[in-house]
Structure 1
Amino acid sequence: MTRVLTLYKNAFGGLSRAAWILALVMLINRSGSMVVPFLSVYLTASLGFDLEQAGILLSLFGVGSITGAFVGGWLTDKIGHFWVQFFSLVGGGSLFFFVANLADFLPLCVGIFTISAVSEMLRPANSSSVAHYAKPENVTRAFSLNRMAINLGYSFGPAVGGILATFSYNLLFIVDGITCISAGILFFFYFKNKKGHEQKEDETKATSSPLNALKDWRFVLFVLLVLSFATVFFQLFMTLPLYYKDVYQLPESQIGLLIGLNGFIVFLLEMIIVYSVGERFSIRRLVMIGSLLNGLAFIILNLLHSEPILYLAVLIISVAEIMAMPFMATYTVQRSGPKNRGIYMGMYSFAYSAAFVLAPALGTNIVRAFDFTTLWWVCGVLSIGTSVGFFLLLAPQKKKA
């Protein structure tokens, strides 16, 4: 027991106060994350849309995320990560109250796109902040602390959301909006005059031109592989809730607990796993293993059929997330420089945003045309291919003589 406590103490030691406050901001923000996990169920069960319409609306959420990722990354380099984060938190939170009152298809298309775009601007700006305020030697752990807070929030959000949904889905939008605005207020008052850790600029990474970032072909390929990884991973939020509902007939409260379990596992284990393996193994190996586990989580749903297997699948996908995502973010920081970090983080965020388009489109269309079994096999094959891609792309580069 003492050894475990020492491990936790070492994992959290040395992080700056700013890193902790950033994590607190994200904890407050994500504790209200109730709309996205239940969006597919809300659109079909509450508003009465069919799978095709729900797929379009979920894909528009992804298109909005793509827009927000690029705009957020560009604005971060232009006006700074502080104002982009503040606008995204307060502006996005306010939009939840508006979208809660929409019920028709076309207005919902506009509303979901807009709220997604504004909310997603937070991701590249926040990632730039984490790198800005962290000590250089603690960047990966600072990202893990931030993700730990996000996942702790996600463990609360869906679980509470599942209970609130039994009363009214509108409550999900209201609570989500309140927590976003509250996080924005805390962020503003703590960081408005805060200075970060200055880092030496690499002249080869000095330009903030989006075109220059797109010319970094290795990073572009890396982003495409992250997109593939995230497309599989996001089935957890996009189609697994439908699978729980349609195949296992689980109530909303249990669906919320299953999704929330992912956040709780990541909260509990990520920091100590990152601390334990981060210095011992290469980013290449860790990301490759995470990609393989990502696919395994869905393959076992076809091999074994019982409710306990649903929990095992969430455990595996949570470990996959821990092994891959923090180190993907670190690779992005290493690939960029202070003056173009927003654009690189925007491109990295694009992968997750685009996955919000591909994941529901891929998932709902395969289920509609075939069944869930086919979808889980596709996820497994795609994950194996992604793992091979990371293995080849992240191989050590030979230095020119």
Structure 2
Amino acid sequence: MNSLKTYWKNYISAYQGLSHATWLLALVMFINQSGSMVLPFLGVYMTTVLEFSLKNAGIVLSTFGVGSILGSLVGGWLTDKFGSFKIQSFSLFLSIPFYLILPFFKSFETLCLSIFFLSFIKELFRPANSASVSYYAKPENLTRAFSLNRMALNLGYSIGPAIGGFLAAVSYNFLFYTNAVMSFFAGTLFIIYFKNRKGNTPEKVIADKAEQIIKTKSAYADRKFIFFSIFIAIYAFCFFQILNTLPLFYKNVALMNEKEVGLLMAFNGIVVFILEMALVHYAEKKFTLTANMIIGSLFCGAAFLVLIPSHLVVILYISIFLISISEILIMPFASTVAVNRSSPTNRGSYMGLNGISFSIAFVTSPLIGTFIAQNYGFTNLWIFNCVMILVATVGFYFVMKKM
């Protein structure tokens, strides 16, 4: 009973001190992500409705990653040049027509092209949004501000796939149209609240970071951060199996229907929503950044390890729980590392490179993942993921010691 009271005390205290703007950014993220139900079902849609092979489905999913890489790269540059407000508004509203026309593209070539442009436009949002979080959050609340944003993302992600599973059971077209509607609502709310709104004054931060700015004008010249980003990409390769090969595994091997897949995917978002703020608040106090990254990485490896001997439903939920804890420990602290290495004048490039690390995984994860699954089986894919997680864990340990 006392432990439960302590948990809720930590949970409530984790929210204290966060600015209204931080909360509104999280609300925009929640609305936008609530409509993001296409990606978890895209692989299933292509292999069942469009009758693509696993190989072709993996290639289409990888084009999403290619668009994400370019979107993160361009988004970081545009954010430094034009500001986060304009880029987020542009991304939210321009993605709407792409969602509306997506159901009309059914061939392999046209779907590759349309998914590429959709992901490019969507990914412009990520570095701009991360820069906004750091702009509106108080410095002492930075990690918790990122955690709140991610909690909103995961709450939306828990609702999106759950609803998406029921919509897909009727028609996959409803998934695309719902995404468009939610993007419109998110963009409208964002413009109404954040137009002409001022954030934290950056002068003190600029002074504190003056020496670093001289040494490193851009994230792409920061060798230590580049190595850190490489290990983030390796970790993300394994984590993003949750968006491509895992749903295919649930459908084709565990023999789940769309509703059951949606509920299982929603469990990830629910776990993160319930646990993230309190767990991050606790981890901030008890562990170093390095320890959090290492522990979070190992949880991801454990999530795939438990799938090797069995795919009983209870095992699938244990796996999702483990990968959710990994996500809680890795994602906000990875963003904190990027912000700590940057200044307000080059933050866009750092958040952009941080986004590129995850976008690279969007390319490699479905492409390599579906290749291994189709030619060697899902069990060998899980073993491969465990090996990659060990590489990432060792990498985090050594590179963060030097950082």
Please state if 1:116 is matched with 2:106: no
Q: Measure the CA separation in 2 of the matches of 1:2 and 1:373.
A: 41
Deviation at 1:396, TM superposition (A): 5.3
* Aligned partners of 1:92 and 1:118 also within 8 Å: yes
User: Could you say which residue in structure 2 is the equivalent of 1:253?
Assistant: 259
Figure out how many residues of one structure are paired with residues of the other and give that number.
396
User: Could you say which residue in structure 1 is the equivalent of 2:386?
Assistant: 380
- The aligned runs of 1:1-400 (5 Å cut-off) are 1-199=4-202, 200-201=205-206, 202-206=209-213, 212-395=218-401
Aligned to 2:170, what secondary structure does the other structure show?
A: coil
Q: Measure the CA separation in 1 of the matches of 2:87 and 2:214.
A: 20
Deviation at 1:47, TM superposition (A): 1.1
Deviation at 1:208, TM superposition (A): 12
* Aligned partners of 1:94 and 1:181 also within 8 Å: no
* Aligned partners of 2:93 and 2:183 also within 8 Å: yes
Q: Measure the CA separation in 1 of the matches of 2:59 and 2:40.
A: 16
Aligned to 1:198, what secondary structure does the other structure show?
A: coil
Q: Deviations over 1:157-215 (max 9, x none)?
A: 00100000011000000001110111011000100111001232122444799x84222
* Aligned partners of 2:218 and 2:350 also within 8 Å: no
Aligned to 2:401, what secondary structure does the other structure show?
A: coil
TM-score normalised to structure 1 length:
0.96
Partner AA of 1:390 in structure 2: F
Q: Deviations over 1:28-87 (max 9, x none)?
A: 000111100001001111111111211111111110000100010000000000000001
Change in Cα spacing, 1:305 to 1:40, as seen in structure 2 (3 Å) is closer
Q: Deviations over 1:118-140 (max 9, x none)?
A: 00111000000000000000000
Change in Cα spacing, 1:83 to 1:207, as seen in structure 2 (3 Å) is farther
* Aligned partners of 1:208 and 1:343 also within 8 Å: no
Deviation at 1:110, TM superposition (A): 1.3
* Aligned partners of 2:7 and 2:278 also within 8 Å: no
Deviation at 1:154, TM superposition (A): 0.2
Q: Measure the CA separation in 2 of the matches of 1:208 and 1:118.
A: 32
* Aligned partners of 1:207 and 1:339 also within 8 Å: no
Q: Measure the CA separation in 2 of the matches of 1:213 and 1:4.
A: 37
Q: Which segment is superposed worse, 27-36 or 192-201?
A: 192-201
Q: Measure the CA separation in 1 of the matches of 2:148 and 2:136.
A: 13
Q: Which segment is superposed worse, 258-267 or 93-102?
A: 93-102
Q: Measure the CA separation in 2 of the matches of 1:101 and 1:207.
A: 51
Q: Measure the CA separation in 1 of the matches of 2:11 and 2:363.
A: 37
Deviation at 1:359, TM superposition (A): 0.3
The percentage of counterpart residues that share the same residue type is: 47
* Aligned partners of 1:208 and 1:340 also within 8 Å: no
Partner AA of 1:379 in structure 2: N
Change in Cα spacing, 1:122 to 1:102, as seen in structure 2 (3 Å) is same
Q: Measure the CA separation in 2 of the matches of 1:137 and 1:161.
A: 37
Deviation at 1:384, TM superposition (A): 1.0
What 5-or-longer segments of structure 1 have no aligned partner? none
* Aligned partners of 1:81 and 1:129 also within 8 Å: yes
Q: Measure the CA separation in 2 of the matches of 1:262 and 1:305.
A: 17
TM-score normalised to structure 2 length:
0.96
Aligned to 2:365, what secondary structure does the other structure show?
A: helix
Q: Measure the CA separation in 2 of the matches of 1:297 and 1:124.
A: 28
Two-structure CA RMSD over aligned residues (Å): 1.4
Q: Measure the CA separation in 1 of the matches of 2:187 and 2:211.
A: 35
Q: Measure the CA separation in 2 of the matches of 1:396 and 1:212.
A: 19
Q: Measure the CA separation in 1 of the matches of 2:91 and 2:212.
A: 27
Partner AA of 1:203 in structure 2: A
Partner AA of 2:60 in structure 1: L
Q: Measure the CA separation in 2 of the matches of 1:92 and 1:348.
A: 22
Q: Deviations over 1:254-299 (max 9, x none)?
A: 0011111111100110000011111221000010011111111001
Deviation at 1:303, TM superposition (A): 2.7
